[in-house]
């Protein structure tokens, strides 16, 4: 599986982000990391969407909650209803 679980999974769009303060390259560094993260999420999304429903259930996901899990590092609680049988 991908390294998305090991990546930082959330980015603040706030202007007070620590890397923005006083460092001219900080904003560029933040933007580069944001783009890198997005590309990793999309790559992982393509990979996990290839799993069948049984495989997804085994790892605690439903097809509709894959992107949320990749972006946030946890399964979407709203999607949890159908997993427990």
- Spatial distance between the Cα atoms of 10 and 23, rounded to a whole number of angstroms: 21
In a domain, 5, yes or no: no
In a domain, 35, yes or no: yes
In a domain, 21, yes or no: yes
Report pLDDT for 25: 83
Its pTM stands at 0.60
What parts of the chain have a pLDDT lower than 70?
Answer: 1-24, 80-85
| Full residue range of the structural domain in which residue 33 is found | 11-82
Residues 47-78, buried b or exposed e (16+ Cβ, 10 A)?
ebeebeeeebeeeebbeebbbbbbbeeebbee
In a domain, 2, yes or no: no
- Spatial distance between the Cα atoms of 37 and 7, rounded to a whole number of angstroms: 8
Report pLDDT for 4: 47
Report pLDDT for 76: 85
pLDDT digits (tens, 9 = 90+) for 44-66: 999 999 999 999 999 999 999 99
Give how many domains the chain has, as a whole number: 1
Report pLDDT for 50: 95
């Amino acid at each position: 599986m991908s390294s998305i679980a090991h990546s930082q999974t959330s980015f603040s769009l706030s202007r007070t982000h620590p890397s923005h303060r006083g460092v001219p390259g900080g904003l560029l560094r933040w933007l580069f990391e944001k783009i890198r993260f997005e590309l990793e999420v999309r790559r992982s999304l393509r990979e996990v969407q290839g799993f069948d429903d049984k495989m997804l259930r085994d790892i605690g996901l439903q097809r509709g909650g894959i992107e949320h899990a990749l972006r946030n590092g946890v399964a979407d609680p709203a999607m949890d209803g159908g997993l427990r049988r």
